[in-house]
Structures are given as C-alpha cells and as structure tokens.
C-alpha cells in the first residue's frame, strides 16, 4: 500500500486528519441545519416533506456522532491506543455508508417535497461529496497507521 501521508509521520497525520474531520463535520452540521430550516419553511404538504425532514434530522445526529468520533480518533492517535483505533476504523465505515445513503435519500425526498431554496441544498450536496472523499482518505490514513503498529 502506498503511504497516504507522502512519507510524513502517520501519528501526526492521523491527528491532523482527525482535527480536519471534526471541523468538516461541524460545518456539515451547520449546513444540514440550514437545509432543515429551509425544509420547514417550505412545507406545503407535510406528508411528503416528512421524509426529507426526518432524513436531515438523522443526518445531523450522524454528523454530531462523527464529530465525537473525530475527537476520539485524535485522542487515540495521541495515546497510540490500538483498540480504539480499530473501533474507529469499523465505526467510520458505518458512518460513511449511512451518511452517503442518507444524502441520496434526502436529495430524492427534498425534490419530491416541492420547490425549496437552491443554495442550502446545493451546499449540502457539495459538502457531502467533499466529506465522503475526505473520510475515505481518513480511513486510508488510519489503516496505514494500524499497519505501522502491526509491523513494530
């Protein structure tokens, strides 16, 4: 496997990507709350928009959990706690999968809910794509850090 940090220290790199993920997840929570507010303001048929609103609420909860996991990853890398790093690796894949599926469901449900403001939803989609790519990169960094432990 190629080195995801271009030869830099993996422990420091894991801390940096954990901090970046906490910031990115916080921004994503903020934008998701803007989308939620926009969906509440544009409700014409409560039954149709309930799926979109419920999906955004679940997405916000997942991103808050992801912020917690990012801080936990930072602490695990700092302490070199192998067990927590393995738990993070498993949990990160679940969060990545669920958030990606929810983003697609929110897009579909929001389109069926009627006309809503374009900009919050556009920023939501852009951030979902960026954070998904970043989380895959984070996964590769954590995986390389764990492999470094196993070699020692």
Q: Is residue 1 part of a domain?
A: no
Distances (CA, A) of 41 to 67, 82, 152: 27, 46, 56
**Domain extent at residue 83:** 10-151
Q: What is the pTM for the complete model shown?
A: 0.86
Domain annotation covers residue 106: yes
Classify residue 114: in a domain, yes or no: yes
Distance CA 95, CA 122 (A): 21
Flag whether 131 is in a domain.
Answer: yes
Q: Is residue 117 part of a domain?
A: yes
Does residue 109 sit within a domain?
yes
Q: How many domains would you assign to the chain?
A: 1
The radius of gyration of the chain's CA atoms, rounded to the nearest angstrom, is 17
In a domain, 4, yes or no: no
* Residue 100: inside a domain: yes
Residues 6+ apart with CB under 8 A from 82: 146, 149
Q: Could you read off the pLDDT tens digit of each residue along the chain, which spans 152 residues?
A: 567 777 778 888 889 999 999 999 999 999 889 888 887 777 666 776 777 788 889 999 999 999 999 999 999 999 988 899 889 988 988 998 999 898 888 877 776 666 665 667 788 888 889 988 998 898 888 888 888 877 65
């Amino acid at each position: 496997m190629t080195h995801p940090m271009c030869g830099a220290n993996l422990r420091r790199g894991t801390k940096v990507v954990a901090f970046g993920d906490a910031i990115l997840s916080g921004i994503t929570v903020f934008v998701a709350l803007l989308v939620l507010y926009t969906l509440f303001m544009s409700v014409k048929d409560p039954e149709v928009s309930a799926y979109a609103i419920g999906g955004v609420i679940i997405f916000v909860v997942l991103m808050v959990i992801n912020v917690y996991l990012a801080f936990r990853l930072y602490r695990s890398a700092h302490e070199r706690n192998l067990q927590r790093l393995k738990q993070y690796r498993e949990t990160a894949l679940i969060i990545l999968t669920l958030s990606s599926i929810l983003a697609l469901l929110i897009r579909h449900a929001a389109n069926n809910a009627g006309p809503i403001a374009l900009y919050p939803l556009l920023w939501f989609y852009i951030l979902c794509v960026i954070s998904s790519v970043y989380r895959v990169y984070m996964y590769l960094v954590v995986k390389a850090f764990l492999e470094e432990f196993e070699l020692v």
